[in-house]
Amino acid sequence: MTQGPAPVLRAEGQVTPVLRAEGLVKTHHGEGAPARAVRGVDLSLRPGEFVAVTGPSGAGKSTLLHLLGGLQRPDAGRIWLDGTRADEWSEARWAVERRKRIGIVFQFFNLVSNLSVADNVELPALLAGVPPKQARAERTALLAELGLDGKDRSLPGELSGGEQQRVALARALVNHPPLLLADEPAGSLDSKGTREVMRLLSRFHNRGQTILLVTHDARLASAADRVISFFDGRIADDAELDATPTRGTGISGVLELTD
Amino acid sequence: MRLPLLALLARGPAHGYELKQDLEQLLGSAYPQPNIGQVYVTLGRLEKQGLIEGEDVEQSSRPNKKVYHLTEAGQDELRAWFEKPEDEPRVRDEFFMKLALAPQTGLADQIALINRQRRQYLTTMRSLSKLAAAENRDNRIAHLLIEGAMLHLQADLDWLERCQEELEELEGLE
């Protein structure tokens, strides 16, 4: 755990979850019948966990992520971030807390199109009160780490999708948030870009970053060590994945040569 | 393993151990650890069928080794192999039988079956990811093989999702 506050020990062996939610409910009221996107979700993320939420489109998994990141307000239920009650925060308070506590990457990157790559990454640091010199140092280090050397002055529109998503990742991590939320981060990338995102998420996870990933792509989800299957607004299954296959054949049987 | 061995011999004569190593190198970690005994048995069969011929080569300090080459009949067999498209993969019918028959037995819940099967696929998917990460980046063939296995699994997972959607919808109507 190199980033964020150290986990607070409550009692022997009990660690405060980075994120906890209880009884979350959200109904969308648009045209037509109300859509019950999230129908009573309990969830807890331990520090350093990498959890993927998968399910068909329309299952409500993006709504769930938005509730957890304070981008939408739940109709019912409670949320704690590092043990602090968060669902009662005002919009303004969420905006401030999010800068420090939560990094978010989206499917369509959501970079500021008329700001350079460097400014996109530094902005959240400056808004959080980090001295400009330090913000610049953080930005340089992250961009180098993500293989974006020499792209500082480019505008987002001049970069490939995969590169833009890496900039978005740098922006999300510039303040070393304890929690990273990723909403279909490879949803608009080709398979090379998908592998790249997968590799980077795994790399940050290996350094202790807590990650909640929402994806319909099982390949991406398999990078996580816990997979939650989300159906019709509810958790249908919550499984810790073992790295070793349960059956003997497993990986050595990728190709079967008979005869 | 018959045809892959013939294909390797199309390049030039080789002995059993070389062929085993060639296969390993070509397919990388995705290859199911070839058994040298199986290689020799297969070579013996191919020779009996007249598709390859072996020649004993003397070695000074070790027993003779047998170097094989492809015969004309072997060439023909190989050409026919390349010309024939392969059957498409089959749906995992054993799981589907469980799913279809579960309700009338009263012994298993369909959603629980799906969840268990999904965990199995996801775990295998995870192993494949790790395998891909560990495999030499330059071995394109090995990576394509692993990617193929992952895409198949992805399709299986998508299909489980469809089954679950459909069944939960039915439950909702009851």
Residue with tokens 């295998």: B124
Domain count, chain B: 2
Longest dimension (CA), chain A: 68
Instruction: Please report the pLDDT score of residue A247 as a whole number.
Output: 44
Q: Cα(A11)–Cα(A103) distance, rounded to whole angstroms? A: 28
Q: Point out the residue among A218, A229, A252 whose CB comes nearest to the CB of B32.
A: A252
Instruction: Name the nearest CA neighbour of A202 among A36, A48, A61, A30.
Output: A48
Shared domain check, B77 and B19: yes
Close Cβ partners of B2 (under 8 Å, ≥ 6 residues apart): A259, B42, B45, B46
Residue ending a domain, choose from B36, B63, B83: B83
Shared domain check, B28 and B101: no
pTM given for the model:
0.82
Shared domain check, B98 and B42: no
Instruction: Name the nearest CA neighbour of A116 among A196, A182, A170.
Output: A170
Q: Cβ of A60: how many Cβ atoms within 10 Å?
A: 25
Q: Is residue B88 part of a domain?
A: no
pLDDT tens string B153-170: 999 999 999 999 888 777
DSSP A57-104: TTSSHHHHHHHHTTSS--SEEEEEETTEE-TT--HHHHHHHHHHHEEE
Band the pLDDT of B173: cuts 50, 70, 90: low
> ipTM exceeding 0.90?
no
Instruction: Name the nearest CA neighbour of A111 among A208, A216, A188.
Output: A188
Burial of B16 (0-12, 13-18, 19+ CB in 10 A): buried
Residue ending a domain, choose from B83, B117, B147: B83
Contact between B127 and A245 using a beta-carbon 8 Å cutoff: yes
Q: Point out the residue among B27, B32, B42 whose CB comes nearest to the CB of A253.
A: B32
A-chain residues within 8 Å CB-CB of B27? 255
Q: Point out the residue among A218, A232, A243 whose CB comes nearest to the CB of B127.
A: A243
Shared domain check, B123 and B64: no
Instruction: Please report the pLDDT score of residue B39 as a whole number.
Output: 92
Shared domain check, B129 and B57: no
Owning domain of residue B47 = 2-83
Instruction: Please report the pLDDT score of residue A209 as a whole number.
Output: 96
Strand A84-85 versus strand A76-81 pairing type: antiparallel
Band the pLDDT of B10: cuts 50, 70, 90: very high
Top pLDDT among A9 and B92 is at: B92
Shared domain check, B70 and B16: yes
Q: Does pLDDT of B132 surpass 90?
A: no
Shared domain check, B10 and B65: yes
Instruction: Please report the pLDDT score of residue A138 as a whole number.
Output: 94
Band the pLDDT of B174: cuts 50, 70, 90: low
DSSP for residue B87: P
Close Cβ partners of A197 (under 8 Å, ≥ 6 residues apart): A162, A165, A169, A185, A186, A189, A220
Instruction: Please report the pLDDT score of residue A191 as a whole number.
Output: 82
Shared domain check, B51 and B117: no
**CATH code at position B41:** 1.10.10.10
Architecture of A46-71+88-241 per CATH? 3-Layer(aba) Sandwich (3.40)
- pLDDT per residue of chain A (259 residues) written in tens, 0 to 9: 445 455 555 554 578 999 999 999 999 988 888 888 999 999 999 999 999 999 988 889 999 999 999 999 999 999 999 999 999 999 999 999 999 999 999 999 999 999 999 999 999 999 999 999 999 999 999 999 999 999 999 999 999 999 999 999 999 999 999 999 999 999 988 888 888 898 899 999 999 999 999 999 888 999 999 999 999 899 999 999 876 544 444 445 566 655 5
Domain residue limits, chain A: 46-71+88-241
Which stretches of chain B sit within 8 Å of chain A by CB? Answer: 1-2, 4, 27, 29-34, 42, 111, 115, 118-131, 133, 145-147, 149-150, 153-154, 157-158, 161, 164-165, 168
Residue ending a domain, choose from B50, B83, B116: B83
Q: Is A222 on the interface with B (CB under 8 A)?
A: yes
